[in-house]
Amino acid sequence: MPTPSSQDSFLDTNLAAAFPILQQKIYQKSLIYLDNAATTQKPIQVIQALQQYYEQYNANIHRAAHTLSSIATRNVEDTRAMIQQWINAATTEEIIFTQGTTAAINLVAQTYAKQQLNAGDEILISLLEHHANIVPWQMLAQEKGVVLKVIPVKTDGTLDMDAFDQLLTAKTKMVALVHISSTLGIINPIEQIIQKAHARHAVVLIDGAQSIAHMPIDVQQWDVDFFVFSAHKAYGPTGLGILYGKKQYLEMMPPYQGGGGMVAHVTTHQSKYQPLPYKLEAGTPPIASICAFQEAIRFIQTIGYTKIQKIEHALLVYAQELLQKIPAITLYGTTDVKKKIGIIALNVQGMHHLDVGLLLDARGIAVRTGLLCTQPLIDYWQVDGMVRISLAVYNTFQDIAITVQALKNIIQKHGT
C-alpha cells in the first residue's frame, strides 16, 4: 500500500501550490478540499486568464469590426479547436458551447430527441444517473409519450449489464448514460454499451461530467453520438459546458433558442440560421470562461492523463483501504478499484450524513453530503443521504490521512 512519503515518486512539483484557494485556512485548519466531483478548484493560470480577458480584450465576439472583438473571437475559436483535438472530435463544428452539462443534455432532449422520437419509443437511462440526466428525459417523456426505462445496478454499484441487454430492444431509440458515477466513482463500460446500442440503431449520449478531468476521452474511437461535460469540473471556470455531437445529428437539430449570433438573415417574420456550431449558440456566450478554459486544458495536458490516473488511483486505494478498516463506516459501490475514479461514498453508523459533513468542515475538510443529485441511487441503498469524498489531482496522501483520522475522532466522540 502506498504511504504518504511515496507521493514524491509521482509528483515532482507540489500541484496544490498552483491553487490559491487551497492555501487558506478554514477554522484555523489548512483547507483540505475533497468536494471535487461538485466542482474542482482553479489553478492560478485559469484565474489570471479570466482577469486578462477583462483587463485586456473584453469585447463581444463575432459582431464588431474592432481589435478587441477580433482578439476575443479568435480566442473563443481557439478554445473550440483545442477542445476538438482534446476529445478527438472530427471537426470544430461538432463542439457546441453551452452553460454546462445540464444545459447540454436539455439541449439534446429538447431538440434532437423531441424531434426524432415518437410516442412509445424508449429512452434508456440508469440508476446511476445524476438528476441532470434524469429530469430532462422525464420532461420529454411527459411531453411526447416516450417511455423512460432504467438500467438497474448490482449490489457493488456496477451497472447490471444483463438487465441492459434485456432492456435494449428495437424500441430503444436513445441511450443516455453517465460515463462515471458522480456518487460512486464507478466507470461504466461505455464502449461496450455504445456498440450494443448502435447494433440496435439507438443513439447514445454519454454524460462525461465526471470523466473529463480524470481520463482521456476519444469520441471518434468510441463512436459516441453525443458527449457532454462542464468546464468547472475540469479545473476551468463556471458557466461553461460542452456538447459534442456527431455532425449528422447536430445538423438534424433545430435551434434550441433563437437570438443574436445564431442567425444569418432576419426579417420580421422569418430567419435564416447560421451553420454549425453557431446555429445552436444563441446570444452572448460566457466569453471569459471560454477563453480561460484553455488554461485548464493546458493544466490537464501538461500533467497528462497517465500521471493524473496514477496519482488519483493511488490516493483512492490508500483512502479505501484505510476507511475499510473502520467498523463504523459503511462504504457504497465498493467494486474493483481499477474500475473506479477517486470518489468514495460512505456513511457513519448512527450519525446523520450532514453532521459528519459539518464536523469535518469544522476541521477544515470539505466534503459533500446528502442526496448528491442522485436520489434514485441513494434510495436504492435505503438511506437518506451519504457523505462523499471526491479527489482531484492536487490532493495528497496527507489529505487522506488527516481526513481518515478526523473521521475516527468524530466516530469516537459522536458515533454509536
Ligand X SMILES: Cc1ncc(COP(=O)(O)O)c(C=O)c1O
Chain-centroid distance of CA 359 in Å reads 27
Chain-centroid distance of CA 280 in Å reads 21
Q: Which residue lies nearer to ligand X by CB, 7 or 210? A: 210
Residue 237 binds to ligand X (criterion: CB under 6 A): no
Task: Cell 473529463: give the residue.
Answer: 212
Question: Out of 178, 341, 410, 411, which residue is the one contacting ligand X (CB under 6 A)?
Answer: 178
For the bound state, the minimum distance from the C-beta of residue 38 to ligand X, rounded and expressed in Å, comes to: 6
Nearest to 112 by CA among 170, 169, 176: 176
List Cα–Cα distances, 296 to 44, 48, 72, 82, in angstroms: 10, 11, 18, 11
For the bound state, the minimum distance from the C-beta of residue 232 to ligand X, rounded and expressed in Å, comes to: 6
Per CB under 6 A, the segment of 26-34, 206-214, 298-306, 361-369 that binds ligand X is 206-214
- Determine the 3-state secondary structure of 20 from DSSP: helix
For the bound state, the minimum distance from the C-beta of residue 231 to ligand X, rounded and expressed in Å, comes to: 8
For the bound state, the minimum distance from the C-beta of residue 341 to ligand X, rounded and expressed in Å, comes to: 11
Active site residue 373: yes
**Contacts of ligand X in 82-101 (CB under 6 A):** 100-101
**Contacts of ligand X in 280-339 (CB under 6 A):** none
Other beta carbons within 10 Å of 351: 17
Kindly state the helix (H) or strand (E) to which residue 327 belongs, with its residue range: none
Cell of 48: 489570471
For the bound state, the minimum distance from the C-beta of residue 17 to ligand X, rounded and expressed in Å, comes to: 26
Question: Out of 22, 209, 341, 407, which residue is the one contacting ligand X (CB under 6 A)?
Answer: 209
**Contacts of ligand X in 114-133 (CB under 6 A):** 130, 132-133
Determine what percent of the chain falls in helix, strand and coil, rounding each to the nearest 5. Answer: 45, 20, 35
Question: Out of 35, 94, 121, 207, which residue is the one contacting ligand X (CB under 6 A)?
Answer: 207
Q: Which residue lies nearer to ligand X by CB, 219 or 373? A: 373
Of 209, 314, 373, 400, the active-site residue reads: 373
Total site size for ligand X, rule CB under 6 A: 16
Which pairs from 50-59 meet CB under 8 Å and 24+ separation? 50/237, 50/288, 50/289, 50/291, 50/292, 53/287, 53/288, 53/291, 53/292, 54/288, 58/287, 58/288
**Contacts of ligand X in 15-44 (CB under 6 A):** 37-38
Say how far apart CA 390 and CA 411 lie, in whole Å: 20
Other beta carbons within 10 Å of 62: 17
For the bound state, the minimum distance from the C-beta of residue 86 to ligand X, rounded and expressed in Å, comes to: 18
Q: Which residue lies nearer to ligand X by CB, 49 or 213? A: 213
Say how far apart CA 78 and CA 75 lie, in whole Å: 5
Q: Which residue lies nearer to ligand X by CB, 176 or 407? A: 176
> Which residues would be at the binding site for ligand X (CB under 6 A)?
37-38, 100-102, 130, 132-133, 178, 182, 207, 209-210, 230, 241, 373
List active site positions.
373
